[in-house]
Amino acid sequence: MGNPILDTFFEETEELLESLAEGLESMQGAEFDKETVNSVFRAVHSIKGGAGAFKLNELVSFAHSFETVLDEVRSETLELTPQIMHTLIRSADHLTDLVDAARSGRSMPEDVSAGFLSALQACLGEGKIEAVDAWDNFEFAAVTLDIAPIEEPGAEAEGEAAPAGFSIAFKPHAALYANGHEPALLFAALADLGQMTTTVDLSAVPEWDDLNPTEPYLSWTIALRTDESEIAVQEVFEFVHGLCDLVISPLTDPTPPAKAEPVPEAKAAPAPAPQAAAPTAPAGPSATAEAPKAEAPTMSDRAAAAVAALKKPEKGDDAEAKAPKATLRVDLDRVDRLINAVGELIINQAMIAQRLQDMTSTRDDDLVMHIEDYRLLARDIQEGVMAIRAQPVKSLFQRMSRIVREAADATGKMAELVTSGEGTEVDKTVVERLADPLTHMIRNAVDHGLENREARAASGKPAMGTIKLSASHRSGSVIITVRDDGAGLNRPKILEIAKRKNLVAQDAELSDSEIDQLLFMPGFSTAATVSNLSGRGVGLDVVRNAVTALGGRISISTTPGQGTEFTIMLPLTLAVMDGMVVTVGGQTLVVPITSIIETIRPQPSDLHRIGTDETLLSIRGRMIPVVDVSRALGFPSPEITGSPLLLLVESEGLGECALVVDGVQDQRQVVIKSLESNFGSVPGVSAATVLGDGRIALILDPDAVAGGRSGYHMPNILSNAGRTAYANV
Amino acid sequence: MTLKVLAIDDSKTIRELLRSVMEEAGFDYTSAVDGVDGVERYAEVRPDIVITDINMPNMDGYGVIDAIRKGDIDNQVPILVLTTESGDKLKQRARQAGATGWIVKPFDDVSLVSVIRRVTGIG
């Protein structure tokens, strides 16, 4: 791929845009400190700086205008009204778009940018945004051409006309040395322009006893013979302008002044006196006003801290570690390879442990202990490696506030996003793959969840609707919820739509939760039933599929008049999980621990046969459907008889159900190996794993298995294709 | 001798750009991510020249200049300020703060290197 530094720029810009959004977010709050505005300013400023280096002109000029307004806010010359805040937020959105456009080499339509630019202009009222200085023309000019005119009567005019050269009178101030300049270097630069003769004036040097080493006593007169213009000469002195007395005049008398001894070699010219400005030197009796030397009486606190840091003993070794927020960018492939290796390590550990357990005759306590250490270490390594991939959901959440704004604008509603738990860390893949489903859910929440203004007013709600987005960790899972404060689901209407689309039998009678589940059915959501905002051909079934693909579950709950809440439950990692190893129909399967509530062996009297095919379990006064896993997966299996072992599992949306298994073997951490690349999506099975003894076991998807028995038809839970896949495993 | 450059900029992009230019020129390059880091690195690296950004978190470029100029490690080292503005006000302020010179972003490789050689007299 192209320029690695350009890649760095885009990566960095991504982060800057995040901190920009975050800063603007907190600027909306009642109180924010100055540093917040500073960081917002810096983010835009850095983007501009980097963009300039790559000649991304559109980006530069917009960032410049944006920055100008932020600067005014920062210096408090511009009051931060809600209107201006709005403009800033929209500008940040536009800046994001411009970055995306630049990354893909596109150009934004000019009128769009023009609209945003004029909104920024409007913020400043009378004050105009200066043209982007130094940015209009990206053909690199020489570094700096600061030609401050030297106000010296008689010095100008004939300058260009007289070809002979210039006479330069140069008397450095103390500040010139203090700023790190060295007259010899200036003379060397002058010598490059032509032939020169230097004369040093030592007359100001006092007697030894009166000598103040920080005070400059020397001055020079230089005769420069050159065809270069005066501008070229002034350029040499560009950095020292104001730090010295400087008179440049056309050379009238070609012979150098005779008074002092000429110094032909420029480098030899400067006297050492000023350079002797040793910091330990006692201040002389003569005033040293201009010399900011070692005593530094008026250090600011920050500078003082910095000076203290300067004085710290050198420690080269851990320099890298001391850098604040030191991070390391690693290619994702490398991390994934590591994760894979750790997975193998865990399997390997399990195999050794198993073998050891089998060899009861030669039991060696020491060895058992070491293996246990090995297990703990492997787990530590695994957690450490997983942590590398973990990312806070913050960046994901920040993107959503824009979705809310746009959805609200498009529907004419008022809506704000309230987020919590942004610091919750999730696997990077989850963050990436959740972006689309979450976007869709947020749009839905604004579009379908929130009522229109009139309806809200009628029910006494504030005009501003609230979308709450939160993340948290709960018992080994990540929970993400999207909640609106709208009217809640309209169940009769949902049922009606489902019937019209033949998703359920015309005479079906469904419970509330079953009706809610209809929303997730493919074909429920189509362009005809959703507005043009949400309806982009994707329904909640796509959301559900995305979540399931991540090993997660999605559920819905609604309170009429108060709103609807979607809950996504995801595994912490995509690579390892705690599972219960069970036997079903002679096969070994793994059931995720997170979905198991308890294991029970019921009395035969607690099992009730209903009709020909269905069995219910009576437990603690409730009736729970019993699912024969073996049959559901198409294994050959006898009828359920006697008192089978049951796993009580929580199935999303369908409540609890009991899975029939032959026996429980073990409970352990298993490494998840995806089947999808080889077998496609296998219904009823989410993945596979390798057990300690080297056998391969399928990981059960309890939701799909439980859903298969349900009264209304879920999409082909166990198709023939699925069965074929099992046969092949 | 190899010229040692310390660049202080919170933008990784700029740091990397500078790195490519500096290494191309055969300089020994070290970078720091903000003012505080820069001042620490300064003590460790003892560079022949410092190039610093102005707008940075923790400590800005003026703070860096101040710390170096008032510190006791080679306090007359040349310090170049990297800036996006080319206005006189900025230059005056930089000069007052004790900067040796300035470079306007976006910078041009050749001029940057020649400015560095000019103010250090090395290379």
Measured over the CA atoms of residue A455, residue A461, residue A464 and residue A468, the dihedral's sign is: negative
Partner residue facing B76 (CB), from A9, A180, A311: A180
Q: Which CATH number fits domain A4-124: 1.20.120.160, 3.40.50.12160, 3.40.1210.10, 3.20.20.140?
A: 1.20.120.160
The percent of residues above 90 in pLDDT, for chain A, comes to: 4
Give the minimum alpha-carbon distance from A202 to chain B in angstroms, rounded to a whole number.
23
Chain A environment of B84 (Cβ under 8 Å): 45, 48-49, 52, 134
pLDDT tens profile A623-651: 888 888 888 888 776 666 667 788 888 76
DSSP string, A388-429: HHEEETHHHHHHHHHHHHHHHHHHT-EEEEEEE-TT-EEEHH
- The model's pTM: 0.49
Q: Do A143 and B57 touch (CB under 8 A)?
A: no
Q: Do B87 and A133 touch (CB under 8 A)?
A: yes
Give the minimum alpha-carbon distance from A324 to chain B in angstroms, rounded to a whole number.
7
Total count of residues recorded for chain B: 123
Residue A528 has a pLDDT of 42
Chain B environment of A53 (Cβ under 8 Å): 13-14, 17, 105-107
More confident residue, B13 or A152: B13
Q: What is the CA radius of gyration of chain A?
A: 38
Least confident of A177-186, A313-322, A336-345, A429-438: A313-322
B113 touches chain A (CB under 8 A): no
A329 touches chain B (CB under 8 A): no
The percent of residues above 70 in pLDDT, for chain A, comes to: 75
> Other CB atoms closer than 10 Å to residue A653's CB: what's the count?
20
Nearest chain B residue to A244 by CA distance is B95
**B4-116 CATH fold:** Rossmann fold (3.40.50)
Residue A243 in this model has a pLDDT that exceeds 70:
yes
pLDDT tens profile B48-97: 999 999 888 889 999 999 999 998 888 889 999 987 776 777 778 888 88
Residue A174 in this model has a pLDDT that exceeds 60:
yes
Nearest chain A residue to B92 by CA distance is A242
Cβ-Cβ contacts under 8 Å between A and B: the total is: 191
Residue B42 in this model has a pLDDT that exceeds 90:
yes
Chain B environment of A55 (Cβ under 8 Å): 106
Residue A395 has a pLDDT of 83
Sheet holding A663-671, edge to edge: A663-671, A576-584, A587-592, A696-700, A685-690
Question: Which whole number is the average pLDDT over A576-601?
Answer: 85
Residue A321 in this model has a pLDDT that exceeds 80:
no
**With contact defined as beta carbons under 8 Å apart, do A687 and A699 qualify?**
yes
Both tokens of A502, joined, read 């033949």
What is d(CA A65, CA A59) in angstroms, rounded to the nearest whole number? 10
**With contact defined as beta carbons under 8 Å apart, do A591 and A702 qualify?**
yes
Quote the ipTM score. 0.80
Question: Which whole number is the average pLDDT over A246-262?
Answer: 62
A45 touches chain B (CB under 8 A): yes
Q: Do A46 and B67 touch (CB under 8 A)?
A: no
Provide the CB-side half-sphere exposure for A179 (13 A, CA): 30
Residue A384 has a pLDDT of 84
Residue B19 in this model has a pLDDT that exceeds 50:
yes
Beta strand ranges found along A144-227 (DSSP E)? 165-172, 195-201, 219-225
pLDDT tens profile A496-527: 888 888 888 888 788 888 888 888 877 776 44
A141 touches chain B (CB under 8 A): yes
Q: Do A243 and B103 touch (CB under 8 A)?
A: no
Domain boundaries, chain B: 4-116
What is d(CA B97, CA B17) in angstroms, rounded to the nearest whole number? 26
Q: Do A179 and B95 touch (CB under 8 A)?
A: yes
More confident residue, A384 or B8: B8
What is the residue whose two structure tokens read 């959805």? A407
pLDDT tens profile A555-575: 888 888 889 999 998 876 666
Partner residue facing A42 (CB), from B55, B69, B121: B55
Stretch (H or E) spanning A40: helix A34-53
Residues 6 or more apart in contact with residue A494 via CB below 8 angstroms: A515, A516, A518, A519
Q: Do A238 and B101 touch (CB under 8 A)?
A: yes
Q: Domain A393-571: state its class.
A: alpha beta
Residues 370-409 of A with CB under 8 A from B: none
Residue B63 has a pLDDT of 92
pLDDT averaged over every residue in chain A: 74
Give the minimum alpha-carbon distance from B59 to chain A in angstroms, rounded to a whole number.
8
Residues 142-171 of A with CB under 8 A from B: 142-144, 146, 148
pLDDT tens profile A533-556: 444 445 788 788 888 777 778 888
Domain boundaries, chain A: 4-124, 166-321, 332-391, 393-571, 576-728
Architecture of the domain made up of A576-728: Beta Barrel (2.40)
A268 touches chain B (CB under 8 A): no
Partner residue facing B44 (CB), from A11, A49, A314: A314
Interface test with A, best of B11, B20, B28, B105 (most A CBs within 10 A): B11
A266 touches chain B (CB under 8 A): no
What is d(CA B83, CA B49) in angstroms, rounded to the nearest whole number? 16
What is d(CA A72, CA A67) in angstroms, rounded to the nearest whole number? 9
Q: Do A52 and B76 touch (CB under 8 A)?
A: no
B10 touches chain A (CB under 8 A): yes
